Amino acid sequence: MKFARVAAYGVIHDATEKDGGLLLDDGRWVKKNDVVWLPPIEPQTIFVLGLNYQDHVSEIAVDRPDEPLVFLKGPNALIGHDGQTKRPEGIVNMHYECELAVIIGRNGRNIKKEEAYTYVGGYTVANDYTIRDYLENYYRPNLRVKNRDTLTPIGPWFVPADMVSDPMQLVLKTYVNGKLEQNGSTRDMIFDIPSLIAYLSSFMTLNKNDIVLTGTPKGTIPVYEGDEILTEIEGIGSLKSTIVGEKAFKQRNKE
């Protein structure tokens, strides 16, 4: 069973997929287009991996990292499925990044690799948009690159871990305006999920609802105002977002 968080009838609901629509926690059934989709969990710490796919490392011509390159993202960046992401004025290189998001299911410290999956609560899809114009370098992504409001669509579903037989064998795809542009597999991660959990928990406690964004494969291209981006992961779901220009946001603020 897949789970979601949505806003409907003026209230935030937990919901499950049923009969092509959504069954809300108050017993009402609604169509998927009649709700506002929210991130499928209320996040705690959000960890983001850079350069975690060998083909992406080769694509941007940098050295393969010797250990995970991790930075943090604020919850302000997250938006739900079918939302709008703001593209700042004057930038050139805004790229999507289809990523498997690993959601921690219970607290842990110094977790062994062989026990790591017992700490995973589930999975979802993330699109970790990047504004590369603001990039200092690939080893020090600054706040403006990854932490802007609306920059990280996530969802639509929380898929429990026991529904995913092998998270290291999932196909990732991104479509830009209906055209397939990115096609990869989680098997090509440099640092797999157990390695990431063991690494992070070696120096800090991981908490329930922490999120680990595990990186993206090759195939990222610039995207522009008006583009519709669909990022999907086999067995996890399809996440849609639309890019909206800065002027549209400013106009709405005036109304």
Would you state the pLDDT for residue 141? 56
pLDDT at 255: 47
Distance CA 240, CA 125 (A): 10
Q: Which residues pair with 23 in a beta bridge?
A: 16, 29
H or E stretch at 21: strand 21-24
Residue 248: per-residue pLDDT: 80
With the CA atoms of 91, 93, 98 and 103 taken in that order, what torsion angle do they form, in degrees rounded to the nearest 10? -50
Where does the chain hold its CATH 3.90.850.10 domain(s)? Answer: 42-254
CB 98 within 8 A of CB 172: yes
> How far apart, in whole angstroms, are the C-alpha atoms of residue 8 and residue 27?
12
What pLDDT score was predicted for residue 146? Answer: 83
The pLDDT, as a whole number, for residue 29 is: 98
**Bridge partners for 232 per DSSP:** 173, 238
The pTM (predicted TM-score) of the whole model is: 0.94
pLDDT confidence of residue 144? 77
Task: Specify the fold of 42-254.
Answer: Fumarylacetoacetate hydrolase; domain 2 (3.90.850)
DSSP 8-state symbol, 206: B
Q: Between 3.30.260.10, 3.30.70.890, 2.30.30.370, 2.130.10.10, what CATH number should domain 1-38 receive?
A: 2.30.30.370
Task: Walk along the chain (255 residues) in steps of 10 and give the mean pLDDT of each run.
Answer: 97 97 98 98 95 77 82 95 95 95 98 98 97 72 81 98 98 98 96 98 98 95 97 98 87 53
Residues of each domain in the chain carrying CATH 2.30.30.370: 1-38
